[in-house]
Amino acid sequence: MSTMLILGLETSCDETAAAVVADGREILSNVVASQATVHQKYGGVVPEIASRRHLETINAVIDQALAEAGIGFADLAAFAVTYGPGLVGALLIGVSTAKTLAYAAGKPLLAVNHVDAHVAANYLEHEVTFPAVCLVASGGHTSLLYLRRRGEAELLGATRDDAAGEAFDKIARILQLGYPGGPAVEREAVRGNPEAYLFPRAKALQDGNFDFSFSGLKSSVINTVHNLRQHGEPLSTADVAASFQAAVVDILVEKTALAADKTAAQTVLLSGGVAANTLLRRRLAEVLSAADRLLLCPRPELCTDNAAMVACAGYDLYRQKVFAGLDLNASPGLDIFQQ
Ligand code: KG4
Ligand code: ZN
């Protein structure tokens, strides 16, 4: 059987990414051009700037992905692209590029849901036993999914307000730690005491459902910081970062472990940018292993936005013969169930 090579493209937020993946498993190249330094001075992603940057960068990123894989366009079987959810202008750059390439090469176009792609990042590294539960925690989502099998997801719960990564980004901004906030808060937290402040763990949601809420926690951290500053009291950024991180991790771990219990899933997958957080990986693995459950997680560079995960999710669509037409549009508000 010949190898099937898929080019993945990802431009839903502030990473311009292209990757070549063989048979939905073997990464031949995985190029990510991050715009983080561009958006840093604004403390968050500026959509117009993100779109413009994608446009300026995408051709070079694709050329690099093909060169590193040692292949040309003619070797590709299909083109997979994230078409939602995400920033509409940013998504449009990836979608138009993939459509153009698919048309020019006369090869299929595969429309990938970004959340599915984060789940699929696990399939690049692990043999997953189903059923499984997956926590996708990123800058745009915090969702708990029940996976009956590969490519078949049911939503168990999601955030009712901010996404976990968004909360990290906002707290980093208040603490003036820079953007993106997750890695910055994590670095700062290393020197801090996680018990210095007892921030709330969304008690209203502790009634057996699988939804999350981070806005109360975020407000509590912001109020604490403002009060200390107003009263001229000493503020340990490291202690606030550590206490905030501990609260987010507690919330994510508790709900994910509960979902695994309720669904009797032996395998739990973790993905999305927040999955790069070391404390989250460690605490979740500990809690799950105490219940004889296995935690699988992609390596950190496959947790944050990349195109290898898009090519991997695209491979599943290809096998199911779910091809997109050249009228494919960006779908910024796409939810997890839509293909
Ligand atoms: O998946 P991703 O790259 O993009 C979205 O789909 O949103 O996730 C980015 C998010 C950002 O909010 C970033 O602050 C967060 O993931 N993040 C982290 C860490 N690395 C990235 N959050 C906590 N700890 C980290 N080490
Ligand atoms: Zn993402």
- Give one DSSP letter per residue of 17-61, joined into a string: EEEEEETTTEEEEEEEEE-HHHHHTTTS--HHHHHHHHHHHHHHH
Residue 182 pLDDT greater than 70, yes or no: yes
Distance in angstroms (rounded) separating the CA atoms of residues 119 and 108 = 22
Contact indicator for 310, 80 with CB cutoff of 8 Å: yes
Contact indicator for 293, 261 with CB cutoff of 8 Å: no
Centroid of ligand 1 to alpha carbon of 7 (angstroms): 24
Collapsing DSSP states into helix, strand and coil, what is residue 134?
A: strand
Q: Whose CA is nearest to atom 2 of ligand 1?
A: 273
Contact indicator for 196, 240 with CB cutoff of 8 Å: yes
State the burial class of residue 44 (Cβ atoms within 10 Å of its Cβ: 0-12, 13-18, 19+).
middle
Distance in angstroms (rounded) separating the CA atoms of residues 166 and 259 = 23
Tokens, residue 97: 């590029």
Centroid of ligand 2 to alpha carbon of 233 (angstroms): 38
Using pLDDT thresholds of 50, 70 and 90, give the confidence band for residue 339: very low
Tokens, residue 107: 């090869």
Q: Region 19-41: what's the mean pLDDT? A: 93
Q: 74-78, 191-195, 203-207, 299-303: which has the minimum mean pLDDT?
A: 203-207
Question: Average pLDDT of the chain?
Answer: 94
Contact indicator for 315, 292 with CB cutoff of 8 Å: no
pLDDT tens-digit series, residues 46-93: 899 999 999 999 999 999 999 999 999 999 999 999 999 999 999 999
pLDDT the model gives residue 42: 82
Residue of 30, 119, 136, 274 to mutate, ligand 1, most atoms within 8 A of C-beta:
274
Q: Region 265-284: what's the mean pLDDT? A: 96
pLDDT the model gives residue 180: 86
Residue of 168, 190, 280, 305 to mutate, ligand 1, most atoms within 8 A of C-beta:
168
* Ligand nearest to the CA of residue 245, numbered in listed order: 1
- Domains, in order of start, for the chain: 5-119+303-319 (3.30.420.40), 126-297 (3.30.420.40)
194: DSSP letter: T
Residue of 15, 114, 138 to mutate, ligand 1, most atoms within 8 A of C-beta:
138
224: DSSP letter: H
Centroid of ligand 2 to alpha carbon of 196 (angstroms): 31
Q: Region 129-146: what's the mean pLDDT? A: 95
Residue 240 pLDDT greater than 70, yes or no: yes
Using pLDDT thresholds of 50, 70 and 90, give the confidence band for residue 152: confident
CA distances from 182 to 165, 188, 259, 270 (A): 6, 10, 24, 16
Using pLDDT thresholds of 50, 70 and 90, give the confidence band for residue 45: confident
Nearest to 44 by CA among 178, 216, 160: 178
CA 95 to chain centre: 19
CA distances from 148 to 69, 128, 285, 293 (A): 33, 11, 21, 17
Using pLDDT thresholds of 50, 70 and 90, give the confidence band for residue 314: very high
Q: Whose CA is nearest to atom 10 of ligand 1?
A: 139
